Amino acid sequence: MRNDIIEYLKTEIKIRTENKNNKFGRGVLYHIEAVANNAELLANKYNADKEVCIIAAWLHDIASITDYDLYKDHHIHGAKIADEILRKFKYEEDKIELVKNCILNHRGSIENTRLSKEEQIIADADAISHFDSIPSLLYLAYKEKGMSIEDGANFVKNKLERSFRKLSDDSKIFYEDKFENVMGIFTPVSQLQKCF
Ligand SMILES: [Fe+2]
Ligand SMILES: [Fe+2]
């Protein structure tokens, strides 16, 4: 395991999220950490290259947090930044290619073909990461968007359902309990009010 690269990335990503050019707030660091944790879990499950998955997870949104202008095509810019960083560490050529493909194909919103297990893992880890950051989603709904209790609950619930639908079929089964547990929180507000 190239712990030198992983440790460098953890520090570098933290520094970039704290920089004023990061328009996504500190919460994005929780997102990236959650993607890295889920990528490791899924790499074990699918017998994939764990090192590549962890490195790709730490790098997958690097372009967005570095410069908001890169957000729209952050998968393309991110792959370029990853190439530069990993080359400095003299990482193996075939693994650099795999990491770059993971970054290029991580976005569920963009039509793409995922050829390797590692690419699918990063896309799945990115989608499921929302289930590890419910407080951030609630903060977004109630504090930043100023939503009512009901609208905020529906906003978060819909976002989570969309994320879950993006998962590969095997990962949907793997994360079924997590999905049920989290969705259980969103008892319709109309039902809650009957309790009082
Ligand atoms: Fe992304
Ligand atoms: Fe992401």
Residues 136-167 have pLDDT tens digits of 889 889 998 999 999 999 999 999 999 999 99
Q: Which ligand is nearest to the CA of 63?
A: 1
As a whole number of Å, the end-to-end CA separation of the chain is: 55
Answer yes or no: are the C-beta atoms of 62 and 75 closer than 8 Å. no
| 8 Å CB contact between 148 and 133 | no
How many other C-beta atoms are found inside a 10 Å radius of the C-beta of residue 112?
15
Q: Take residue 77 and report the two structure tokens written for it.
A: 């810019």
Residues in the chain: 196
- What's the confidence (pLDDT) of residue 189? 58
Q: How far is the CA of 107 from the centre of ligand 1 (A)?
A: 6
Answer yes or no: is pLDDT of 180 > 60.
yes
Banded pLDDT at 113 (limits 50, 70, 90): confident
Distance between Cα 57 and ligand 2 center (Å): 8
pTM: 0.90
What mean pLDDT is reported for the chain? 92
What pLDDT is attached to residue 157?
95
